Each structure stands twice: as C-alpha cells, then as structure tokens.
Chains A and B, each alone.
Chain A
Amino acid sequence: MSRYVIVGNGTAAIGCVEGIRFVDPLGKITVLSKENHPAYCRPLISYFLEDKTDPKKMLYRAETFYEDNGCEVLYNVSATALDPETKTLTLDSGDTLSYDKICVATGSSPFVPPMENLENVKNRFSFLTLDDAKALKKAVKPSSRVLIIGAGLIGLKCAEGLRAITKNITVCDLADHVLSSILDAKDAAFVQKHLEANDLKFTLHNSVAKFKGNTAIMQNGDEIPFDILVTAVGVRANWGLVKDAGGACGRAITVNEKMETSLEDVYAAGDCTESTDISDSLIKVMALMPNAYMQGYTAGINMAGGEKVFDNAIPMNSIGFFGLHMMTAGSRKGQMKTDIQKDSIKRFYKEDGKLIGFVLIGDVQNAGVYTNILRNQIPIKSLSEFNIKKSPSMATYDEEFRRKTLESVVK
C-alpha cells in the first residue's frame, strides 16, 4: 500500500486527493494543513467580508470529504524539510513522516515590499487566508477608513468586500492603472470608472513612502489617514521545501506536464509552481484556482501510477466588481481586434491564425467558447464564424465539432 503525503490543504491538494483516489482507492494519504481549516475556497474570502458566504458554505468539498476519501489530515502542521533520498519529511514539530510519493502544494504567501515604519502600523492585515479575512472583518467598522495597498485582483476584491461595511476605502498602487496584471490602461480606466462610481477612491502610480502612525505618507507627498491597512501587493510561491532539497526552481517550483519536480517521487502543484502558458509558450506562475485543481489532480493521478498530463494551462480570470464582470485569458499581444460598446469592451488577440488571448468586460456571455478555442488552439479559419460583434456560442464552432459535442458523450 502506497503512502502518499500532500503538503498543503488548498485547491491543488484536494485535486491531488481526487486524482490519487481516481486510480488508487486504498493507498494511505496524509494531508498536512498549515491552516486550522478543512480546505476552503480561498477566493471567497472577499465574499465572506460582505456576508455573501460564510465559512461553512466556503468549504471546498463536503464536510465528509477527507473521511470519504480516506485521508488523514494533520492540521496546524507545516513541513520544514524534505529528504528525497530517504523519502522523509520533517515537520515543524520535529517529527518525521516517510512517503512513497509526495506532492508539494504549499501555495503562496503575501509579499509585502519594504515600507518605512510599516511594522508599527496597528490594524495591519494581509488578505490571503480565511483567518486574514476573519480578523479584517472583525476590525472594520462602518466608520473605518481603509487603505488598501495594491489595486490588483486581491486588493480590489478586498475593497469590494469591505465596501459592504464601509464607504471609506482608498486603494493605492504603484502601477498607473488598476488590475495591471490583466488589463491594459484603457480598459482599466473603464473598470476604474465603475469602481469609483461605487465609492472606491484611487491613488495610482503612487505608493506609500512611509507610515506615520495611522497615516500613510505617499510618494507624491499626499497624506492618507486610515484606521485599517490592508497590504495586497502580491504573493510569492512557497517553494522552500523543494528548493532546499535541491529541486529545480525558477520563479517557483519547476514542474513538467506530469507535475513532477526534478526530485524523484516529488510532485508539486498549485500556486507554488510555474508552468508553460500555451498562449505564448512562456513559463509563468499561473496562480489560478482552476489551474491549481488541474495540476493537483494531474499530480495525484501520476503519483498513484496513472497517466495524465496537464499541458494546456493558460492564465485566465473571471472576476467581477459591483456587478461588472470581466474575463481575460491568454496573452495580450499579437494582432488585436476590438469591439467597444457603451457598456462593454471585447478585445481579441490573434497570432498565426490562432486566438491567443482575449479580454471581455461587461458582456461575458458564453466566454468559454473563446477559452476553448484558445486553449485547444483551434485555427480561427476553421470556425464557422468568428464575428466579434456576436456573442460566442456553439454556432461559432464548425459543424463537425458541434455534432461531436451535441450528439455524443464528451469528456
């Protein structure tokens, strides 16, 4: 009977458990959870702030998931060292755990750039875990003034959640536009307008130079007083376990399509890894929940002796703020086609007759059709229609594809 160890208890870990169990119903699975919760849906923490969900609903799987899948979960446990030679793992308690196969799904940690006097700021929060959210929610009052550093996905989602509690929210970012990781400046302005219409205040291309008590002194000299500070600048992969054991790493743990690291019997999945974006063939950290699951699931199947590759990862995002939805996928380069309407923007990026990326803001109906075209690199020429003014649908595909998917069982 194989002994599987999964370090981490997030989306990738759950995918890994399901992957293992798909092949091996019997092997022993041990899950190490740093947080004291069963796996929950991490992106929901902003919805938790606005009471759209609660910790019970946030559970990623049924309460009986671990039991049903025969997993032992060790809560409040971190691993400190991995020895691929002896196939043992050292825990923070000092205990060791031996394994046959191990999956490192340790995720990421908030990255906070150095800011003067930051350490003395009271009511300072990160926004990555349920515990972060719980603490934040407890601290924020309707009268609280909130300063969020970072106008990326996490910062803005946090802002949206907090908006249900307080109107006084300012978001600052060093970048000159919001959501700089997924939008260009023009589209960002469109979104920013919507955010501002919902009472968020922005100070961009600007960052905190230093803190003076509960006031942030900005680089441009502005002073922003606040009661609550949230740092949401970015994250870094938790790669230590593998890197310290001599495993290959780039900006995160290097894995192949089977989610194997360079170390024998050591797999890695989720936000702690980097992989190839097929839309531009570059190696990236694609810290996205769907990717995390797929990677974990792929790792699990391979760990249990099955055969599975995950070779069509693309960066993609579906996110909405105050009712405005946007979806992005792939890269923003190549030949661009645009359709701008009063309340929507659509941008498509093509290269070599293939769709390599898109941005949809406002009208996101059936966006999965584009994702599929992108992910499966379907030549645009072979499509029966690719009219960017039209909503995508099954009619976008050629007849053969339609017949196959509508008249038979699909994967």
Chain B
Amino acid sequence: MKKEGQIRIPSGCAISAMISKEGTRMSGEKIIESMIPMHDRSNGLGGGFAAYGIYPKFKDLYAFHIFFDDKVAKEECEKFLKDRFEVVLSEVIPIHKIPEITDVPLIYRYFVAPLQSVLARLQIDENEYVARNVMTINTHLDGTYVFSCGKNMGTFKAVGFPEDVGRFYKLDEYEGYAWTAHGRYPTNTPGWWGGAHPFALLDYSVVHNGEISSYDANSRVVEMYGYKCNLQTDTEVITYIADYLLRKQGVTLEEMASIVSAPFWSTIEKKSPKEAEQLSYLRKVYSGMLITGPFSIILGFTGGIMALNDRLKLRSMVVGEKDDKVYIASEEAAIRVMEPEAQNIWSPRGGEPVIVKVKEGVLT
C-alpha cells in the first residue's frame, strides 16, 4: 500500500483544543481525555497533539521533533543539521511503551538555532531558513521526517488512537497554555507516523477534520511558492497556506479566514462598500487559496489558536468557555470532558473564525 506522500489519502477525524487566555499552563491530561468520547471518530490509524508553551527553557530555539526509520537515517540527518544549525540539545523524546502503540520509530528532538553566518549569506530571515531546511529534509532525506519545528511548541503524533498516543508521549507531564488534538480516520493508509496529525511548520500547527475538494487547486498554488506537498494531505496544504498567508504575505488571521473560507460573493455584496472592497480584493488575489469541501480546522500558533469551518459548515465544530479558558472540539461531549461547567457553548457558522489569543504581555 502507498503511504502518505505517495498518494492522496482522504480521512475523517476528531479534533479538540483548549487554551488559557491568561497563559496559564495546563497539563495534557484533559486534552487527552477529551479524545475518549470521540473514539469512534478515529480508527486507530493516527492520533496527535500540538502543545504551545511547553519548552519555556528553550523558548528562543527551534524544537525539531523528528522520526527516524533507523540509525543510518538519524546520522545522515544529524550531519545535515550540524552543517546548518547550532544544535543546543538533542535528546530522545520520552515515551511510555504501551501495547496499543507498535512499530515505534526512533523519535528525537533537537533544540536548534540557525547558523547566523549562513543566514547572512542567504539574506533571508530565520523562519524562512528553517522552513526551507525542514522542507529539504522531508523531501530529500529518506527515512527522516521532521514533524515539528516551532519555537516553544511541539507536536506529538503516532499511529494509534489519540488517547493512547497521548499516554504514549506522556503528555500529562507537559504543560502548555494551548493544546490541540487530533484523532484520525483515514480510509486507505497503511498507517504511517508521519501521516498522523497535527501537521506543523514552524510554530503553525493544524488539526483538521474533513476532506477538502479544492486540494489540488490549493496544493498547486502553494507549490508555486516553494512548498512541497510531500504528504498530499489536507492538513499539510492548509498549514502551508496558513504559513504563506500569515508569515509570508502578512495577512491577519481574520483576513486569512476570509481567504480560505471566503464569504460568498452574494454575502460580500451585502457588506459595506469598504468591507466589500477588502473582501473582494482578497478573494480575487488569493483565489487559489479558497478551500472548499468539508473542513473544521484548529490552527495553533504562538500565542493563540484559530478555529475555522468551511464556508458551508459541512463539518461539526463547537466552542465553549469557562473563565479564561476556551475549548473547541468536534463534539460538545469532548468539551464537557475538559470542562464539565463549560458555558456559552455555540457552533460557529461556516467561515466564521474563532480566534482566541493569550492576553498580550503574558508570554514575553
């Protein structure tokens, strides 16, 4: 069977997220539990989490989480890294061996900083530098897969049910101000660890439930901008779109929402002329980044999360609150597990972004 990257694999999913607006760091326990009631939304072929604020000690370093098929791959990759980065710390990511998770690859993390000399020569910023190198590793280094490369954040994923993956990575021992989780229901993958979600690039991570119909239109557009859609998954292309728009084009989260989940022309025409002009400009200029077909995504980034549905709301997604915490999940049941007293539970409309940011100043 072909794995992710060799063929496009559709999948259904469960997603979940929690965030503290005060920046309070929470253990991964709740987010793991939230996936239990949504067990049937996954089929054991992939689960994963993204956590923000988990590496405060290394917050200025890029944390690379890497799967290696074997030692040879690891050595080759480490050589690659050494030529380009200052590796401050390399270590095995601690795991808890459990019978539910098998075929475990080598899982390492590296806290790195780009070599300033190289950066200066290339005249690009460090984010771009990191992104390009990660893309190169994932495209060209066989048996190596960088699945997380942001600062003070990390993703953890594996083949298995998400609640098992959480236990496997001992996420109850991490503390983050924002968490997202994903349970996967792919239809024809043999199950590859790299294919599990979240998908991350730099500090952007995406968990996604759905199957987008615009995939190749989107992927061929982002590929024009240097991204390589190695996995051929929705989550990957959505992450690249987010990276391109937010990081490279400098659009706001709201603007990004109005591009990928664009309001219908008929809706735009009903807005005030000024607003209509902005919205229609974005639709025209970034028309190739409109995403159609069902999706509910939670985009994680440093300092916040954004949840977004497709414009027709073809996938479920609910939001709830309690105090400074905001919870988002495919099902209300998952929210109730994280916070039985959750209030203001609502279902955002198609294309209506739910952006939650940690209070300014808390994270610096």
Direct contact of A and B (CB under 8 A): no
